[in-house]
Structure 1
Amino acid sequence: MGEISPATPAPIGVGALWCVAATGLLSALLLGDGFGLNLLIVTVPAALAAYFAARDAGRRPRPWTLAWAAGGLALLAVPALRDAAWPTFLAVTSALALGSLALHGCRTWPGVVLGPFGLIGSLGSGLVWGARGVRRRAEGTRGRWAPVVRTVLVAVVLVVVFGALFASADAAFADLLGALIPDVSVADGPWRALLLVIGLVGALAAAHTAAAPLRWDRITVRPGTARGRAEWALPLIVLNLLFAVFIGVQLTVLFGGYDKVLHETDLTYSEYATQGFWQLLGATLLTLLVIGLARRWAPRDGAGDRTLVNAVLGVLCLLTLVVVASALRRMDLYVDAYGLTRLRVSVAAMELWLGLVIVLIMAAGVVGGRLLPRAVAASGALAVLVFGLLSPDALIAERNAERYRVSEKIDIDYLQELSADAVPALDALPEPLRSCALQGIERELGDADEPWYATSWSESRARDILDERPIDPRWDECSLIPRHGGAAPRASYDDGRAVDR
């Protein structure tokens, strides 16, 4: 293993210190009310602190560094736009990983895999580094602190006094001021103080990493012992033949063989789909492992060996793509039978991303694998971004609403557990289904008037829809709807009252 310890960082500069202070202050003021646009607002000064620290250390941003940073900021748009917690968690986690990659500048597989964890090692050292910088600046500029403090205090007093006067003179200005300024109370003091510390420590860790990153790319991974052609190729050729036979059966079933297969196996369409999807997902993951190990032990004596390796693994990748398509088809059958859920849309998205990874591996076999680690990481981040922006809960609501229009089957209990992202699609359902489906979401939204920086666009839109068309769930009507996807009662309306028929 190579030496990965960072160099001694350059002293933290004034610009980085001010950005760290701004990050801590904004964290204390904005993050206590939930997640939304505030995450992006807090991240900007932290990113600037890292930029100033890297510049002071003589590091210059490279194209991939800028790409990772832009990707991380783009991922933080998900909590600002969507209400569901699970895409937000994936987006924030991925944004942290991309930010760490931007700070470390990793290129190899060890760097891309371990780089996202590099910030953890800078939490303590960054705090010590920042404290030393503050002490040094205070000792060298003791005579200049008093004018700065006086200026800040005078500005604060003027803003508070005249702001209070203008707010009392005009109700519209008071409402605008109340919406823009965070509501901070004495009772929130400990929580806000904790957020202040988290913001300061996090920003200092980012700045310290930018000034002196761990050198993950220096970790050397020795290639495996090369095998002979026959020893290496024969097992993979047998595996390719097995894949080909399986795909042949799938094509037979696809082109008119469902009835015969289902009759012989005594399975329904949904059971046939359920039985196969998870196994095919596992087969895709195992194939990626097989490809990685095969590359490690591949023969490499010359052009002939390279041609053999690319041919055998290329065929395996192509056949795996067909398996991916078969797995997605199984999931489509499953969704037709039982509806779309969060688990099903998540694993289907994962299968699609695995298919994309296989395509990237095939491209690396043609043009070289130097960019493959970063391409796989970028594809994963892009998949999380698209997954969040497409709004999975909205897709679930739309698909289940469409399923109801076709089969009159709907699972109201499950729809009530969705987030505000689903409200536009559920709003199109006929009554009483609409009110019964939306009552859980409306109850979760509550009457709380959250600040603008902690309210997602989906949540704001959902509140507008429910204010414009209030729901009117009646217990007797909702109780008549079969649970767990059964056929829902049809109802006609006269003056807003439902009459079952």
Structure 2
Amino acid sequence: MATAVLSAFLLGEGAGLNLLIVAVPAGLGAYFAARAAGRRLRPWTLVWALGGIALLAVPVLRDAGWPTFLAVVSALALASLALNGGRTWPGVLLGPFGLPASLGTGMVWGWNGLRSHAAGSNGRVAPVLRTGAVAALLVIVFGALFAGADAAFADLLGNLIPDVSVADGPWRFLLLLVGLVGALAAAHLAAAPLRWDRLEIRPGRARSRWEWALPLVVLDLLFAVFIAVQLAVLFGGYDKVLSETGLTYSAYARQGFWQLLFATLLTLVVIALALRWAPRSAAGDRTLVRAVLGTLCLLTLVVVASALRRMDLYVDAYGLTRLRVSVAAMELWLGLVIVLIMAAGVYGMKWLPRAVAASAAAAVLAFGLASPDGLVAERNVQRYERTGKIDVAYLQELSADAVPALDGLPEPLRSCALDGIARALEETDDPWYATSWGKSRARSILADRGAHTDDTSCDAYDSDRSDDYDDQDDQDDQDDRGEWEKEGELGPYDQ
């Protein structure tokens, strides 16, 4: 009930500290339910629980909606893993679905428990309800009197208490139901976890040594040839490659990154299938598996580095965007997964599923704490200082996290870049529990220096929108950009 009431009063205005506040009683309810069912607190349960709490710090610190969404979804997944547990691949992959699967059964379980408790209470429920009602009445009456007696106390009370109106009644009631059903699902899952670890995945039929190893050896050779070409390009320069292939500088960097990203993903699939069909009976077979797959993993790490280098070249030429920073972060995480697979080949596979899940949660946490919108703004400010090119219209669409970096631009460019963010902040008045530190910091900066422009002062910067910030393959823009690059206007980026 505490989770339900807090959800109704705190979750209607946005995401911030309110998510952590609501999570506290829900977590306590799940803990008491698990303890009553005889479950013990295990180390990995503590890891998942602390990880979920850490992820809920992202909406407290950052204003951008996309890393906040990833953090909240990941926090729910970790909470489900903490309640349900999971050691094997089925347990770790299906564990995050434990909470949704317990929504219906949790309500039935809670209703039956309430009836049983009421039947055995011997009249103790009514005094508890009367006591709570009297306490609430006293707080409301004397709080209203003190608010009328002192303006400072009234202001403090107004800032702390959520603003609830009769018109918000249906919305608040829906949030109350969401909090109640969610808390019951968490408690029921903690008391009766779903045993997905008991699902068995039968190992594939082992192939003969050469039938299994020869295709992978060929793939290793292909990776080695590709890496050799990359080294030749690195030391030979890009001019020769571009003249021989007919590609523009941007096409070489961008197309290369996406294809290398997909190559990394497919490599993980190949490794999984190879481990399923690899011979494992003799010591020689196990040594061959480690040698072939270890080589493939090492070469894949070089491919990951090459993909990130391509993205870095493209960002240097055309600036950083949300999409580009997101896929670069994903490529970094895939590289980490490759490292974990290599470590599992040495120390055993038993811990790998939970390690991969923990690395994914850590990656989402690092992504949110790094402030992607702040990074986008910072890199584009640096690019403007170096080249004089900037896309003001795109920067105006960023969140309040970008304000500190954009504040370093010269006027009137600074005010033009901050104008859209400032207008968005002026239109919102979030309460203390539904705002972020990034938004508060942005308001403080804008209060000191402002960001007010007229309609004509920013027109000069509209012509700089040639950077393909939306990452769309518009052929006309590609042709114009290709001609621009061929004419040598990229300057230092051709080197």
Fold shared per TM-score above 0.5:
yes
- Confirm whether residue 125 of structure 1 aligns to residue 108 of structure 2: no
Mapped to 1, the partners of 2:141 and 2:80 lie a distance apart of 43
Mapped to 1, the partners of 2:210 and 2:428 lie a distance apart of 69
- Confirm whether residue 85 of structure 1 aligns to residue 65 of structure 2: yes
2:215 to 235, 247, 252: 235
**What secondary structure is seen at the aligned counterpart in 1 of 2:292?**
helix
- Confirm whether residue 462 of structure 1 aligns to residue 442 of structure 2: yes
Q: Could you tell me whether the CA contact under 8 Å between 1:46 and 1:203 is conserved in 2?
A: yes
Q: Could you tell me whether the CA contact under 8 Å between 1:27 and 1:196 is conserved in 2?
A: yes
| Pairwise CA distance, 1:96 | 0.7
- Confirm whether residue 358 of structure 1 aligns to residue 341 of structure 2: no
- Name the counterpart of 2:132: 152
Q: Give per-residue Cα distances to partners, 1:39-67, cap 9 Å, x unaligned.
A: 11101111111101100000011000010
CA distance 1:303–1:58, change in 2 (3 Å): same
| Pairwise CA distance, 1:484 | 4.8
1:273 to 253, 268, 280: 253
Q: Give per-residue Cα distances to partners, 1:129-182, cap 9 Å, x unaligned.
A: 101111111222252223222222221222122212222222221111111111
Q: Give per-residue Cα distances to partners, 1:277-306, cap 9 Å, x unaligned.
A: 100000000000000000000011211111
Matches within 5 A, 1:143-222: 143-222=123-202
Mapped to 1, the partners of 2:106 and 2:165 lie a distance apart of 30
Mapped to 1, the partners of 2:254 and 2:129 lie a distance apart of 67
- Name the counterpart of 1:69: 49
Q: Could you tell me whether the CA contact under 8 Å between 1:412 and 1:483 is conserved in 2?
A: no
**What secondary structure is seen at the aligned counterpart in 1 of 2:102?**
helix
Mapped to 2, the partners of 1:203 and 1:89 lie a distance apart of 20
- Name the counterpart of 2:278: 298
- Name the counterpart of 1:107: 87
AA aligned to 2:24 is V
| Pairwise CA distance, 1:33 | 1.1
**What secondary structure is seen at the aligned counterpart in 1 of 2:308?**
helix
Q: Could you tell me whether the CA contact under 8 Å between 1:340 and 1:399 is conserved in 2?
A: yes
Greater shift, 75-84 or 263-272, is seen at 263-272
- Provide the TM-score with structure 1 as the length reference: 0.92
- Name the counterpart of 1:441: 421
- Name the counterpart of 1:406: 386
Q: Could you tell me whether the CA contact under 8 Å between 2:393 and 2:462 is conserved in 1?
A: no
Mapped to 2, the partners of 1:33 and 1:169 lie a distance apart of 29
- Name the counterpart of 2:27: 47
Q: Could you tell me whether the CA contact under 8 Å between 1:342 and 1:396 is conserved in 2?
A: yes
| Pairwise CA distance, 1:211 | 0.5
- Confirm whether residue 27 of structure 1 aligns to residue 7 of structure 2: yes
**What secondary structure is seen at the aligned counterpart in 2 of 1:222?**
coil
Q: Give per-residue Cα distances to partners, 1:432-475, cap 9 Å, x unaligned.
A: 11111111111222243211000111111111111111112122
**What secondary structure is seen at the aligned counterpart in 2 of 1:473?**
coil
| Pairwise CA distance, 1:119 | 1.4
| Pairwise CA distance, 1:121 | 1.6
Q: Could you tell me whether the CA contact under 8 Å between 1:416 and 1:437 is conserved in 2?
A: yes
Mapped to 1, the partners of 2:68 and 2:336 lie a distance apart of 22
Unaligned 5+ residue runs, structure 2?
468-495
Mapped to 2, the partners of 1:377 and 1:72 lie a distance apart of 12
1:310 to 282, 290, 295: 290
CA distance 1:120–1:294, change in 2 (3 Å): same
Mapped to 2, the partners of 1:403 and 1:280 lie a distance apart of 25
Mapped to 2, the partners of 1:470 and 1:256 lie a distance apart of 49
| Pairwise CA distance, 1:482 | 3.4
Q: Give per-residue Cα distances to partners, 1:380-431, cap 9 Å, x unaligned.
A: 0000000001110000000000000000110111101100110111111111
Q: Give per-residue Cα distances to partners, 1:88-116, cap 9 Å, x unaligned.
A: 11001101111111111100001111111
| Pairwise CA distance, 1:486 | 5.4
- Name the counterpart of 1:284: 264
2:39 to 39, 59, 65: 59
Greater shift, 433-442 or 372-381, is seen at 433-442
2:373 to 389, 393, 405: 393
1:341 to 312, 316, 321: 321
Matches within 5 A, 1:239-258: 239-258=219-238
Matches within 5 A, 1:468-483: 468-483=448-463
**What secondary structure is seen at the aligned counterpart in 2 of 1:227?**
coil
Mapped to 2, the partners of 1:408 and 1:181 lie a distance apart of 48
| Pairwise CA distance, 1:267 | 2.7
Mapped to 1, the partners of 2:97 and 2:300 lie a distance apart of 31
**What secondary structure is seen at the aligned counterpart in 2 of 1:395?**
helix
**What secondary structure is seen at the aligned counterpart in 1 of 2:456?**
helix
Mapped to 2, the partners of 1:87 and 1:100 lie a distance apart of 20
| Pairwise CA distance, 1:363 | 0.2
Q: Give per-residue Cα distances to partners, 1:8-34, cap 9 Å, x unaligned.
A: xxxxxxxxxxxxx11001000100111
**What secondary structure is seen at the aligned counterpart in 2 of 1:450?**
coil
Q: Could you tell me whether the CA contact under 8 Å between 2:80 and 2:99 is conserved in 1?
A: yes
CA distance 1:255–1:485, change in 2 (3 Å): farther
| Pairwise CA distance, 1:75 | 0.4
- Name the counterpart of 2:96: 116
- Name the counterpart of 2:74: 94
Mapped to 2, the partners of 1:317 and 1:449 lie a distance apart of 51
The total of aligned residue pairs comes to 467
AA aligned to 1:380 is A
**What secondary structure is seen at the aligned counterpart in 2 of 1:481?**
helix
Q: Could you tell me whether the CA contact under 8 Å between 1:338 and 1:485 is conserved in 2?
A: no
Mapped to 2, the partners of 1:257 and 1:150 lie a distance apart of 81
Identity %: 75
Q: Give per-residue Cα distances to partners, 1:316-366, cap 9 Å, x unaligned.
A: 000000000000000001111111001000000000000000000000000
**What secondary structure is seen at the aligned counterpart in 1 of 2:12?**
helix
AA aligned to 1:364 is A
Q: Could you tell me whether the CA contact under 8 Å between 1:28 and 1:195 is conserved in 2?
A: yes
AA aligned to 1:154 is V
Mapped to 2, the partners of 1:282 and 1:410 lie a distance apart of 30
